[in-house]
Amino acid sequence: MRKNLLLISALSLFTSFLFYNCSSDDNAPETEVEVPEEEPQKEGIENYVTFENVLTAFGDGLSQSVDGTFEFPTDSHQLQAIKMYIQDHCPSRDCDEWDRYANVYVKDQETDTWLEIGRFITPYWVGTEKLERGLELDVTDFKSLLSGETELRIYTETWNDKGRTYSVDFDFIYGETDYKYSAVVPVIQYNKSSIDGVPYGSSHDLEMNKSIELPSDIEAAHLRTIISGWGHATPNDIGGRGCAEWCFRTHNILIDGVPEFEHYMGPLGCADNPIDNQSPGNWQGDRAGWCPGMMVPVREDVLNAELFGNSFEYEYALEDWTNNGMNGDAFYAISTFVVVKSNSPITEKPSVN
């Protein structure tokens, strides 16, 4: 009987406890759960001036390249695009009169490596004043490196003291982007100058094959290639077109031994160049994939998602042709980069070996 009384008493106390707590919860203020606000999308264009009237030239006390350190914004995940503008100043025709190989580089601070972000060919005798902002190129692929304190280099393969004088500025364009984050890694860079490229039609020991491993946490990837041909080597193509400046060829990028992408090194319509005051000079003749007074085209090849998180074999294959050695050498200046993108931060870059 005593045990039953104790059990009834305990149940009574427990019921009272539940009733009290339920009553108290009903009267208590609701706890607010903090939901982080989504970062508002930044809009508009911010302009950043880098090189201003810098001279690249050859001779005592002169240099074919100029380096500089500049401060860029650090909110690259908000960027829709980055455009680079190169103004080649030569209003009085007192610059290097020839069509010269030239490019702009950014330094990857982690690897201490210079990456070619754009290549252009100077016009004959004149500058780019006929274009309001000069030559234009989309360099969004390099937004992970064009951030914060950034080192840039501009180079011209000039061989006189007149050289070329440049100003370079960038538009950082904010707005809805395809992917917030990206990373870029060089695959091959045989592009220091026109004659430091890949010999065409003769033997060489440059590596044209690479093993590339892509991260698994990416949503898109592509190869970015710039290529231009140089030299007047023989045998000539029909019409006296020597290689590699004038001969039209088709190159292939092989993925795991299979040709996946074609690069046709054919006419771009040099005679239609808006910089049409390059006289004297053979600026209207169609070269192999480039023109005097123009940017060298960027060739973008989208990689299959099946490669994400895996490794594959890359090969850049030139069309078969043999230099007979009767009129000098031929070269292709080539740079290829692998670019990966994601809407989540990229924790691991591609590996290239």
Pick the catalytic residue from 97, 116, 245, 329. Answer: 245
Name the residue type at position 237. D
Is residue 99 part of the annotated active site? The answer reads yes
Is residue 245 part of the annotated active site? The answer reads yes
- Helix ranges, 177-320 (H): none
Pick the catalytic residue from 96, 108, 141, 157. Answer: 157
**What is 194-236 written as a DSSP string?**
GGGSEESSS------EEEEE--SS-SEEEEEEEEEEE-EEEEE
Among 148, 141, 215, smallest CA distance to 178 is for 141
DSSP 92: T
11: Cβ–Cβ under 8 A, 6 or more apart, which residues? none
121-157 residues labelled b (16+ CB within 10 A) or e (exposed): bbbbbbbbeebeebbebebbbbbbbbbeebbbbbbbb
Is residue 286 part of the annotated active site? The answer reads no
Pick the catalytic residue from 96, 99, 108, 116. Answer: 99
**What's the CA gap between 27 and 17, in Å, rounded?**
16
* Residues designated catalytic: 99, 157, 245
